Chain A
Amino acid sequence: MTTPTTVTRAEYCVIACAEAWRGDGEVLASPMGTIPSVAARLAKLTFAPELLLTDGEALLIGDVPAVGARSAVTEGWLPYRRHLTMVMGGRRHVMMGASQIDRFGNQNISCVGDWRRPSRQLLGARGAPANTLNNPVSYWVPRHSPRVFVERVDMICGVGYDSAAAAGPSATRFHELRRVVSDLGVFDFATPDHAMRLVSVHPGVTADDIREATGFPLAVPDEVPPTREPTADELRLIRDVVDPSGLREREVRTA
């Protein structure tokens, strides 16, 4: 097999997001955003068949329909009250978005500016505080920029490593940030002080590009590998089965 030369940036992002759920076993994959949704489905169809998926509302689905398509098989019932209970029980790995994220993984989806009178009101804290204290959390950022990767977030919704440590053992007990995927690369917190580290760069991106687009000092190892290539079968599944209408390309456009 030759390496496909036409893999788009969005497809590298799908692969990088899917990898977040590798080895998770029988837990709910909760993707927020288009590319994480494509990725969770791809993971379930390939290397993580035990994953649970929802229809985006109250049902656990027993099939793997294309993103945006209706499920034909229901395998469980997960209304919000049971979903929140599941979060607290930890059998879930969520990939959330982030309007801001800092080097220790503190995340903000609430508002930009002074909380008392924000310059830009966003969603609110939603379930980010509960998610980060109870089940593994990853993040997806479709447009990597210094406005998202900031020195300090304006409102800590998702709890980062430094904040959890400062809050004590009840906060750190189940706290685990797995990875951050952006349109430029993949990151984790596997450093002595849990500061964000560059893990791989998507083909076509350099470590310097990422440093420039990041508003805090990023840990960058001497050798940074490229994000892995999709297999031919993965590409087929992405293009023909999971996202035949190409929604992924609207979330991350190929330059």
Chain B
Amino acid sequence: MASTTPVTARIDPDALARALEGCARGDHACLREIYDKIAPQMTGVALRLLRRRDLAEDVVHDTFVRIWEKAATFDPARGSAVTWMFAILRHRALNVLRAEGRTDLTDDFEPLALASDAPDAEAVVCALSEAGALRRCLERLDPPRRVAIVLAYTRGLSHGELAGRMGIPLGTAKSWIRRSLLALRECMA
């Protein structure tokens, strides 16, 4: 869990943006360059969501095929290349999570076992850069709400699953998340 290397140092957004432009021109070497730089990170993200290595690798495969096909449609004016590529990955992974039936992939969780998830979620927070706004702002939230946000993003839990795990009504879970999001947004502005 304790990958202490600052990952941001390994991912150079400008180099990746240039490589993505290369893909748009049909330069296959640029796809390989992107793969070498971020495929391990993407595999880590997909594995955290899907918890099965074969599924995670399939999602990484699909993501790179998609990056290659859609490189020309990427618009740098709308966001960073890295964010765009990870958004493709998350979109794919969440689709797989939904299609496979979340229960299959999460049945190693105890029901209502938020207590056992909490240390994992706190470990995620600890792995965030201390200098980063996300960590600073997450730490301002009440612990259960912080855990809910972290689990939603890193495990792909739905509103209903969060409610079940926290032992609170669905409506309450929704309003927690919503208020936490707005607090994060204000804090990170």
Asked if A pairs with B, the answer is: no
Binding site for A on B (CB under 8 A): none
Residues of A whose CB lies within 8 Å of any CB of B are none
